[in-house]
Amino acid sequence: MFCHCGSPNKYQWLDAKLEAKLAEVKRSSQGHSNFKSINSIIMRFPQFREELKDIRGVFEQYDEDSNGNIDYEELKKCLQKLQLHLSEEEIKDLFHSCDMDESKGIQFNEFIVLLCLIYLLKEPSSSNTTSTMGSLQLEATFDTVIEVFMFLDKSGSGKLNKNDVIKAMNEASPTERSPARITKTRFREMDWDRNGKVSFREFLFAFIHWVGIDTDEEMLTKSP
Ligand SMILES: [Ca+2]
Ligand SMILES: [Ca+2]
Ligand SMILES: [Ca+2]
Protein backbone atom coordinates (compact mmCIF):
# COMPACT_ATOMS: atom_id res chain seq x y z
CA MET A 1 0.00 0.00 0.00
CA PHE A 2 2.82 2.37 0.81
CA CYS A 3 4.97 1.07 -1.98
CA HIS A 4 4.72 3.22 -5.06
CA CYS A 5 6.51 0.70 -7.22
CA GLY A 6 4.36 -0.89 -9.89
CA SER A 7 1.31 1.02 -8.73
CA PRO A 8 -1.23 0.19 -11.45
CA ASN A 9 -2.97 3.56 -11.44
CA LYS A 10 0.10 5.71 -11.58
CA TYR A 11 -0.34 7.02 -15.11
CA GLN A 12 -3.86 5.87 -15.68
CA TRP A 13 -5.08 8.88 -17.64
CA LEU A 14 -2.03 8.75 -19.89
CA ASP A 15 -2.24 5.05 -20.64
CA ALA A 16 -6.01 5.28 -21.09
CA LYS A 17 -5.62 8.14 -23.55
CA LEU A 18 -2.96 6.29 -25.50
CA GLU A 19 -4.99 3.08 -25.53
CA ALA A 20 -7.98 4.91 -26.93
CA LYS A 21 -5.85 6.56 -29.62
CA LEU A 22 -4.26 3.29 -30.65
CA ALA A 23 -7.56 1.45 -30.76
CA GLU A 24 -8.83 4.28 -32.96
CA VAL A 25 -5.84 4.00 -35.30
CA LYS A 26 -6.36 0.26 -35.48
CA ARG A 27 -10.03 0.69 -36.35
CA SER A 28 -9.42 3.36 -38.97
CA SER A 29 -6.76 1.25 -40.67
CA GLN A 30 -9.09 -1.77 -40.38
CA GLY A 31 -6.32 -3.71 -38.84
CA HIS A 32 -4.05 -3.18 -41.80
CA SER A 33 -0.35 -3.40 -41.11
CA ASN A 34 2.41 -3.62 -43.68
CA PHE A 35 4.07 -6.17 -41.46
CA LYS A 36 3.10 -9.75 -42.07
CA SER A 37 5.36 -11.47 -39.60
CA ILE A 38 7.78 -10.87 -36.77
CA ASN A 39 10.58 -11.59 -39.23
CA SER A 40 9.51 -8.78 -41.53
CA ILE A 41 9.76 -6.47 -38.52
CA ILE A 42 13.16 -7.77 -37.48
CA MET A 43 14.45 -7.33 -41.04
CA ARG A 44 13.64 -3.66 -40.76
CA PHE A 45 15.56 -3.16 -37.50
CA PRO A 46 18.69 -1.69 -39.12
CA GLN A 47 16.58 0.92 -40.89
CA PHE A 48 14.67 1.71 -37.70
CA ARG A 49 17.97 2.13 -35.95
CA GLU A 50 19.17 4.71 -38.46
CA GLU A 51 15.87 6.57 -38.41
CA LEU A 52 15.70 6.67 -34.63
CA LYS A 53 19.27 7.88 -34.41
CA ASP A 54 18.26 10.84 -36.55
CA ILE A 55 16.05 11.98 -33.68
CA ARG A 56 19.21 13.02 -31.86
CA GLY A 57 19.08 16.33 -33.69
CA VAL A 58 15.62 17.01 -32.26
CA PHE A 59 16.82 15.97 -28.81
CA GLU A 60 19.72 18.42 -28.94
CA GLN A 61 17.40 21.17 -30.03
CA TYR A 62 15.30 20.78 -26.86
CA ASP A 63 18.23 20.05 -24.56
CA GLU A 64 18.92 23.75 -24.27
CA ASP A 65 21.78 23.54 -21.77
CA SER A 66 23.30 20.57 -23.63
CA ASN A 67 23.72 18.49 -20.48
CA GLY A 68 22.52 15.32 -22.16
CA ASN A 69 19.05 15.20 -20.68
CA ILE A 70 15.75 16.99 -20.94
CA ASP A 71 14.64 18.38 -17.61
CA TYR A 72 11.12 19.38 -16.66
CA GLU A 73 11.45 22.99 -17.81
CA GLU A 74 12.92 21.92 -21.12
CA LEU A 75 10.03 19.50 -21.61
CA LYS A 76 7.54 22.30 -21.01
CA LYS A 77 9.13 24.37 -23.76
CA CYS A 78 9.18 21.34 -26.03
CA LEU A 79 5.45 20.83 -25.54
CA GLN A 80 4.79 24.51 -26.16
CA LYS A 81 6.71 24.38 -29.39
CA LEU A 82 4.90 21.24 -30.52
CA GLN A 83 1.61 22.73 -29.35
CA LEU A 84 0.48 19.88 -27.18
CA HIS A 85 -1.57 21.48 -24.48
CA LEU A 86 -1.55 19.62 -21.19
CA SER A 87 -2.22 20.58 -17.59
CA GLU A 88 0.66 20.92 -15.17
CA GLU A 89 -0.28 17.57 -13.62
CA GLU A 90 -0.37 15.88 -17.00
CA ILE A 91 3.01 17.27 -17.98
CA LYS A 92 4.45 15.93 -14.72
CA ASP A 93 2.96 12.51 -15.42
CA LEU A 94 4.26 12.48 -18.96
CA PHE A 95 7.71 13.47 -17.72
CA HIS A 96 7.89 10.83 -14.98
CA SER A 97 6.30 8.09 -17.05
CA CYS A 98 9.05 8.47 -19.64
CA ASP A 99 11.83 8.74 -17.09
CA MET A 100 11.93 4.97 -16.86
CA ASP A 101 15.23 4.71 -15.03
CA GLU A 102 14.17 7.52 -12.69
CA SER A 103 17.44 9.26 -13.26
CA LYS A 104 17.91 12.97 -13.84
CA GLY A 105 15.44 13.69 -16.53
CA ILE A 106 14.90 12.33 -19.99
CA GLN A 107 17.88 10.80 -21.75
CA PHE A 108 17.97 10.18 -25.47
CA ASN A 109 16.37 6.72 -25.47
CA GLU A 110 13.62 7.98 -23.15
CA PHE A 111 13.16 11.01 -25.37
CA ILE A 112 12.37 8.83 -28.39
CA VAL A 113 9.53 7.30 -26.37
CA LEU A 114 8.41 10.70 -25.13
CA LEU A 115 8.33 12.18 -28.62
CA CYS A 116 6.36 9.26 -30.00
CA LEU A 117 3.81 9.64 -27.19
CA ILE A 118 3.52 13.34 -27.98
CA TYR A 119 2.97 12.47 -31.62
CA LEU A 120 0.19 10.09 -30.70
CA LEU A 121 -1.45 12.46 -28.22
CA LYS A 122 -1.47 15.35 -30.63
CA GLU A 123 -4.48 15.98 -32.78
CA PRO A 124 -3.62 15.74 -36.47
CA SER A 125 -2.74 19.11 -37.93
CA SER A 126 -5.72 20.77 -39.56
CA SER A 127 -3.73 21.90 -42.57
CA ASN A 128 -2.05 19.13 -44.46
CA THR A 129 0.76 21.29 -45.74
CA THR A 130 2.51 21.54 -42.38
CA SER A 131 3.66 18.56 -40.42
CA THR A 132 2.51 18.29 -36.79
CA MET A 133 5.97 17.42 -35.54
CA GLY A 134 7.99 19.68 -37.80
CA SER A 135 9.40 16.75 -39.74
CA LEU A 136 7.58 14.46 -42.12
CA GLN A 137 10.40 11.93 -41.94
CA LEU A 138 9.98 11.72 -38.17
CA GLU A 139 6.26 11.19 -38.53
CA ALA A 140 6.79 8.46 -41.11
CA THR A 141 9.15 6.70 -38.68
CA PHE A 142 6.65 6.92 -35.82
CA ASP A 143 3.84 5.75 -38.10
CA THR A 144 5.87 2.66 -38.89
CA VAL A 145 6.64 2.04 -35.21
CA ILE A 146 2.90 2.33 -34.51
CA GLU A 147 2.33 -0.22 -37.28
CA VAL A 148 4.60 -2.65 -35.46
CA PHE A 149 2.44 -2.21 -32.38
CA MET A 150 -0.68 -2.70 -34.53
CA PHE A 151 0.77 -5.94 -35.80
CA LEU A 152 1.22 -7.16 -32.23
CA ASP A 153 -2.10 -5.83 -30.93
CA LYS A 154 -4.24 -8.59 -32.42
CA SER A 155 -7.28 -7.78 -30.32
CA GLY A 156 -7.12 -4.07 -31.15
CA SER A 157 -7.50 -2.99 -27.54
CA GLY A 158 -4.61 -0.54 -27.61
CA LYS A 159 -2.53 -2.66 -25.25
CA LEU A 160 -0.93 -6.06 -25.56
CA ASN A 161 -1.83 -9.14 -23.61
CA LYS A 162 -0.03 -12.45 -23.70
CA ASN A 163 -2.38 -13.96 -26.29
CA ASP A 164 -1.80 -11.06 -28.68
CA VAL A 165 1.92 -11.62 -28.53
CA ILE A 166 1.70 -15.40 -28.90
CA LYS A 167 -0.55 -15.01 -31.94
CA ALA A 168 1.72 -12.39 -33.50
CA MET A 169 4.86 -14.41 -32.90
CA ASN A 170 3.45 -17.41 -34.72
CA GLU A 171 1.74 -15.60 -37.55
CA ALA A 172 2.81 -16.32 -41.11
CA SER A 173 5.55 -18.66 -40.08
CA PRO A 174 3.75 -21.84 -39.05
CA THR A 175 6.88 -23.80 -39.90
CA GLU A 176 8.98 -22.13 -37.29
CA ARG A 177 6.71 -21.33 -34.41
CA SER A 178 8.39 -19.57 -31.55
CA PRO A 179 8.72 -21.80 -28.54
CA ALA A 180 6.31 -20.69 -25.81
CA ARG A 181 9.27 -20.07 -23.57
CA ILE A 182 10.69 -17.41 -25.89
CA THR A 183 7.34 -15.73 -26.30
CA LYS A 184 6.98 -15.60 -22.52
CA THR A 185 10.45 -14.10 -22.15
CA ARG A 186 9.72 -11.44 -24.77
CA PHE A 187 6.49 -10.59 -23.04
CA ARG A 188 8.15 -10.30 -19.65
CA GLU A 189 10.81 -8.07 -21.16
CA MET A 190 8.11 -5.70 -22.34
CA ASP A 191 5.85 -5.82 -19.29
CA TRP A 192 7.96 -3.50 -17.19
CA ASP A 193 5.53 -3.04 -14.29
CA ARG A 194 4.50 -6.73 -14.36
CA ASN A 195 0.79 -6.06 -14.53
CA GLY A 196 0.15 -8.67 -17.21
CA LYS A 197 -0.32 -6.27 -20.10
CA VAL A 198 2.02 -4.23 -22.20
CA SER A 199 1.15 -0.59 -22.71
CA PHE A 200 2.32 1.31 -25.76
CA ARG A 201 4.88 3.07 -23.57
CA GLU A 202 6.32 -0.23 -22.33
CA PHE A 203 6.34 -1.57 -25.86
CA LEU A 204 8.29 1.45 -27.10
CA PHE A 205 10.99 1.09 -24.48
CA ALA A 206 11.48 -2.56 -25.34
CA PHE A 207 11.33 -1.83 -29.05
CA ILE A 208 14.07 0.82 -29.14
CA HIS A 209 16.20 -1.44 -26.98
CA TRP A 210 15.75 -4.33 -29.43
CA VAL A 211 16.53 -2.05 -32.33
CA GLY A 212 19.75 -1.25 -30.55
CA ILE A 213 19.52 2.19 -29.01
CA ASP A 214 20.59 2.45 -25.40
CA THR A 215 20.92 5.19 -22.84
CA ASP A 216 24.59 5.77 -22.61
CA GLU A 217 25.47 5.10 -26.18
CA GLU A 218 27.02 8.13 -27.84
CA MET A 219 26.47 10.04 -24.61
CA LEU A 220 29.90 9.12 -23.30
CA THR A 221 31.61 11.75 -25.38
CA LYS A 222 29.20 14.30 -24.01
CA SER A 223 29.94 13.94 -20.31
CA PRO A 224 32.16 16.66 -18.94
CA1 LIG B 1 19.06 19.75 -20.42
CA1 LIG C 1 16.02 9.12 -17.17
CA1 LIG D 1 2.57 -3.48 -18.07
CATH of the domain at 30: 1.10.238.10
Whether 145 is in a domain gets the answer yes
Which of 83-87, 100-104, 123-127 shows the lowest per-residue confidence on average (mean pLDDT)?
A: 123-127
Whether 211 is in a domain gets the answer yes
Whether 198 is in a domain gets the answer yes
Q: How far is the CA of 73 from the centre of ligand 1 (A)?
A: 9
Domain, as residue range, for 64: 12-222
The 3-state DSSP class for residue 48 equals: helix
Residue 183: pLDDT band (50, 70, 90) is confident
Whether 185 is in a domain gets the answer yes
Which ligand ends up closest to the CA of 97?
Answer: 2
| 112 neighbors 102 (Cβ within 8 angstroms) | no
Q: How far is the CA of 199 from the centre of ligand 3 (A)?
A: 6
Q: How far is the CA of 66 from the centre of ligand 1 (A)?
A: 5
pTM of the model: 0.87
Q: Which residues surround ligand 1, an ion (CB under 5 A)?
A: 63, 65, 67
Mean pLDDT of 196-222: 80
94-101 CB contacts, 8 Å cutoff, 24+ apart: 94/14, 94/118, 96/11, 97/10, 97/11, 97/14, 97/201, 98/201, 100/192, 100/205, 101/215
Q: 90-113: per-residue pLDDT in tens?
A: 999 999 999 988 888 999 999 999
Specify the number of domains making up the chain: 1
